[in-house]
Amino acid sequence: MRVVIEKSLARGTAAAPPSKSEAHRLLICAGLSGGPCTVNNLEWSQDISATLDCLRALGVTVEVRENAALLSGGDPFSSPREPAFCRESGSTLRFFIPLFLLGRERVTLRGAPRLMERPMEPYAALCRERTLLFRREPAENALYLRGPLTPGVYAVPGNISSQFVSGLLLALPLLEAGSVVELTPPVVSRPYIELTRAVQRRFGVLSAWTDDNTLRLFGGQRYVPTDAEAEGDWSAAAVLEGLNLLGGKVRVTGLNTESYQGDKIYREHFEALRRGCPTLDVEQCPDLAPVLMALGAAQNGVILTGAGRLRLKESDRGAAMAQELRKLGARVTAEQDRITVSGGPLHAPQEPLSGHNDHRVVMALAMLLTRTGGVIEGAEAADKSWPSFFDALERLGIGLRRS
């Protein structure tokens, strides 16, 4: 999809879309409970649809309503006979690998090529240690698994993605005996581990930290059917409130200030951007990096540290944003773990910007183009997390045309 964005100032009130991070977890816990239970305040993004597809593979019946899902049935220890499709959702893939390893039969997971290239070595290592099948077939965009997982001690590197920890958190408590997850520091995105544990507690499944890097998972637990509602998404809200740094006046509603979402730190980062050219660590909040780079270019500049993980997302986000920001006249230097964006006057790009098949890149660029005007090609990537994103911009008075 090609979107033409006019130079505009955003005005009005906008509700943050549902948190994709929390919705994944709510739906999985609801599906594992056997139901019936309803998860409300959902938006049917590609990633959430992938999680529903994988729940169906476990035999869960999913009734989709306007902004809710009713889930019932299913057996977490079953082995799907047909391939489970994860589309482009890294969360879905990493959350479901341990769940599909609970069964004894071979399971096939498929996904988009970029998804199947993303790091999965922590799970591969765990399977090698336990002589379980874990075979990647890049030519087929497929991953083959066979369990069963057994209770025990699971050592996981903490510096790749918290999603590996969350996947084990979701599955291991269902085994008959307890397990321990030992994290090798440093641990990235720790707030999202806490988000997983908080959602599990709502469904009656408990775990405990025995020290800063060791989680005890109690065995023999079952998820209790519980109705739930997804809170607003702080990552997406950053795009809406970022419009205020570009001269807009937008009030964002639907956010939980007590949320475990790590990206709620954006308000502190935005204040730092207003004051000057800050150095901001994005190791714990990599999804904010595109927005921070875009706003840094429009404000006083920004230096991002802890940026190495950006290469492992839907695109190489640091390189992708650097390439596109240069089309607007920004000066960007992207190094191994550090990105420097120099602030200064921007101009309308003389050629279309590319979305790089990355929803975060598309949304950050769309936000920035409200200052200069311009065109984004591949803008449909926003559907991965926020299908109504451009509708939300239009409601705030941003002029745009889609084709």
Contacts of 257 (CB under 8 A, 6+ apart): 264
CA 145 to chain centre: 23
Rounded to whole angstroms, the Cα distance separating 237 from 242 reads 8
User: Of 263, 287, 358, 383, which residue is the catalytic one?
Assistant: 287
Rounded to whole angstroms, the Cα distance separating 303 from 161 reads 22
Rounded to whole angstroms, the Cα distance separating 273 from 224 reads 44
Rounded to whole angstroms, the Cα distance separating 180 from 327 reads 49
Contacts of 131 (CB under 8 A, 6+ apart): none
Instruction: Measure Cα distances from 193 to 77, 187, 196, 262, 356 in Å.
Output: 23, 10, 5, 10, 28
Whether 233 is catalytic: no
**Residues labelled as active-site residues:** 287
